[in-house]
Amino acid sequence: MSQINPDRPLLVGPEVPIAPFPYKIIGTVVKGYGRGSRELGIPTANLSDNTLEMFPPECHTGVYYGFVQIDQPKSTVYPMVMSLGWNPYYHNEKRSAEVHIIHEFPQDFYGVDIRVLVLGYIRPEQDYPSLAALIRDIKTDVEVAKHSLKRPAYEQLQNDDLFTT
């Protein structure tokens, strides 16, 4: 099986973010189910339950792309993909928001502040017939985010006031 799904486009969304994007989420990284690193090989920064209330009502379940910053202001801004929803493959009973920061960190960072700038929608959430199929789609999501964020109108948002104030 290939690393990514060749049937999916690697560029999504308009040339510039349009409503309801961008939207800003500020929260704290909490311990999740431990599946991101352990089962998927794709670690996530899980957002606290109260952070879910910050998402606008038009924000549907699915996978999003944007930028993220952890810890303190003026630290590095990284590209990210975020899953918002029920994780049907795992039959979750509550909605969650899990951010995969497209960067390798040497350790976990539970309890730190996180700032998320959501810039676009990649796809709806779905169930998968296998863990391998889920991993393949997540890896494709990462590539889609990388390509979609390289457009000038998106790249400049790494300097958004969310990350500098």
Active site residues: 98
Q: How many CB atoms lie within 10 A of CB 40?
A: 15
Q: 81-86 long-range contacts, Cβ below 8 Å, gap at least 24?
A: 81/122, 81/138, 81/141, 81/142, 81/144, 81/145, 82/116, 82/118, 83/44, 83/125, 84/55, 84/59, 84/60, 84/125, 85/61, 85/125, 86/61, 86/125
CA distance 94 to 105: 27
